[in-house]
Amino acid sequence: MARVKLEGILEQLAPELRRALASAVRELHPEVTVDDYALYRAFQRAVRRTAGDWAEVSSRHLES
């Protein structure tokens, strides 16, 4: 097991996750216009509230 700092992961993957999140919203609700950046900031806040700062992940999901 390893501990990862979620904020760092979210920051590093921000461009990819922001596009994926916006794409998922458009897929489910094509009639809704959403600011991709505002949506991602809200997503980051929600992750911090629900998951905290650190997460335990299995070593099998890590590669160095």
Mean pLDDT (whole number) for 48-63: 93
What would the pLDDT profile of 5-46 be if each residue is shown by its tens digit?
999 999 999 999 999 999 999 999 999 999 999 999 999 999
Task: Domain of residue 43: give its range.
Answer: 2-61
Give me the residue label for tokens 């980051």: 44
**Does residue 64 have a pLDDT over 90?**
no
- So what's the pLDDT on residue 23? 96
Give me the residue label for tokens 């992940």: 57
DSSP 3-state of 2 = strand
What is residue 56's DSSP assignment? E
* Cα separation values, 32 from 13, 19, 20, 58, 64, Å: 24, 15, 16, 37, 40
What is residue 29's DSSP assignment? -
DSSP 3-state of 63 = coil
Domain count along the chain? 1
pTM for the structure as a whole: 0.84
- So what's the pLDDT on residue 39? 97
